[in-house]
Amino acid sequence: MSSAIQRAADLISRLEVLVRREARTQREHFEAQWAKPLGERVRTGRTLESLRVAGINWSTGRIRLECDRNDSRFREGDYLVLHQGDPQEEGVIEAVLEYDEGTQLEISPRAGPISRLREIPDGWIADEGTFDLSGYFLDALSEVADRETGRSIILPLILGDLQPHVDMAAYERAWMAALDVGLNERQAEATASAYATDLAYLIQGPPGTGKTYVLAHVARMLAEDGARVMVTALTHRAINNALNMVAHVTETDIPICKVGHPSRADDLRVDSYESFRQSGFQQLNGGYIIGATPFATRTSRLAEVEFDTIIFDEASQITLPLAILGMLAGKRYIFIGDDHQLPPVTVMPREISLAHSSIFGYLAHRGYSTVLNRTYRMNDALAAWPSRTFYDGELQPAEGVGSRRLQLDSPQPRWQAVLAPDEPAVFVDLFQTNTTIRSRREADAVVDLILTLLAAGVPATEIGVVTP
């Protein structure tokens, strides 16, 4: 066996072990959590009790739930297990939390007898849960070694045995086109390089540098050339944002749609279908752009559909097994992300580095990447620390952005030091202790800050509140 084949076999073997271990560890974690007394689970925000069915929308598949009090840690997009007392009993319902407005929630069931929700309208308990996706990963890892694309492109690329090349004539053409539509020089370089590469290209997008804008132009250019393009990411929200931007920058009649569950298309401004077959795109002769999760390529939604280019957004959150799963549907790959931002979420110990490696971090620094370096979001004071700490001083505010400061029509006596325009970054210590799920003191401070800003003439549309 050649060394390259042996290295590929070793990588697949290691990834298979990690996939199985991750699935086992997750299951053990939740079983241990479910074994704790109900009161403790509720108190620590791991469980919601006394849920009532407020309505069932059979057309969208969504279920409305309500409760008297919600102190949970749940976030939209979390997986939940609904049951009547035992999360491991028969008849549990696995669902995704789609909407959380305190005592009003909406879920999309994914497995289990939904009819029970109609038969038993109240007394439901929601615990944290997870879907075991290891089967998808293991199938993909087995397939990548057997398919020609896996042996000749995917594995050699990941192992560093294959170096992408850029067609310079195509690069120059795309470079000029990118500048013509208003991209800055580094954005134009990234767009042209990704467009003209034969195998793979990485675009690193620090905060506010317009990576989604670049993604949209790359996808548009490829589709206009007749390429079948898939835009994918870990989350539906990222896919929706990318497709919305593609539609925004596209003036021609490029077919664009998303393939996925209709419940995940609320903020989407292009057509959405449950399957590729329903889209009618199989009848097209030219290029098109489809957004979907990598998992859709392993189900009836997109099974057997082949793409020319796969664009991975938020690629710094995508593990190697998930990347391989998505890469099997295409022939060349563009990875857009930032390995200085959120890494893959996993239950594996930090010392198992391969488990925490994203495809972006794994391929970075190999000579086929561009770092976007102009932030349109942060002024000079806010950009200084991340630029110095993570980006070798390269991240700088775009022209006219660096000098931006908070504009107040009239000074306010409350929070005067905190809202001083010449201090864009302020830390307020509320001297809290034993605060885990909720903090009334922080909430009151946030509300008071908002009211003060409104009184000072700051429009409500210019105020954002971010919480973990």
| Lowest mean pLDDT across 156-170, 338-352, 418-432 | 338-352
36-128: CATH class: mainly beta
Q: What average pLDDT does range 394-413 have in this prediction?
A: 92
Instruction: Please tell me the distance from the alpha carbon of residue 210 to that of residue 361, in angstroms, as a whole number.
Output: 20
Please say whether the beta carbons of 29 and 128 come within 8 A: no
Supply angle C-alpha 286, 287, 288, rounded to 5: 125
Contact (CB, 8 A) for 128 and 41: no
The model's pTM: 0.90
Whole-number mean pLDDT of the chain? 92
Q: Checking phi first, is residue 61 left (phi over 0); if not, alpha (psi -120 to 50) or beta?
A: left
Whether the per-residue pLDDT at 437 is higher than 70: the answer is no
The per-residue pLDDT for range 141-188, each reduced to its tens digit, is: 999 999 999 999 999 999 999 999 999 999 999 999 999 999 999 999
- Summarised one tens digit per residue, pLDDT across range 53-73 is 999 887 777 899 999 999 898
Looking at domain 134-372, its CATH class is alpha beta
Q: Assess whether pLDDT exceeds 80 at residue 353.
A: no
Q: What percent of the chain has pLDDT over 70?
A: 99
* Distances, alpha carbon 434 to alpha carbons 73, 437, 438, in Å: 16, 10, 10
Q: How far is CA 92 from the centre of its chain?
A: 28
Report domain extents, the chain. 36-128, 134-372, 405-468
- What pLDDT, on a 0 to 100 scale, did the predictor assign at position 1? 57
Given a cut of 90, whether residue 342 has pLDDT beyond it is no
Nearest alpha-carbon partner for 141 in 297, 17, 37: 17
Query: What's the pLDDT tens digit per position in 233-262?
Result: 998 999 999 999 999 999 888 999 999 887
The predicted model gives 307-329 an average pLDDT of 96
The residue with tokens 């302020």 is 426
Structure tokens belonging to residue 433: 């202790």
Query: What CA–CA distance (Å, rounded) separates 328 from 131?
Result: 22
Pair 233, 242: CB distance under 8 Å: yes
How far out from the chain centre does Cα 20 lie?
A: 23
Positive or negative torsion for Cα 366, 394, 376, 378: positive
Residue 56's pLDDT is 86
Q: For residues 312-338, give the mean pLDDT.
A: 96
Residue 436 reports pLDDT greater than 70: no
Average the pLDDT over each of 32-46, 107-121, 233-247, 342-356 and give the range with the smallest value: 342-356
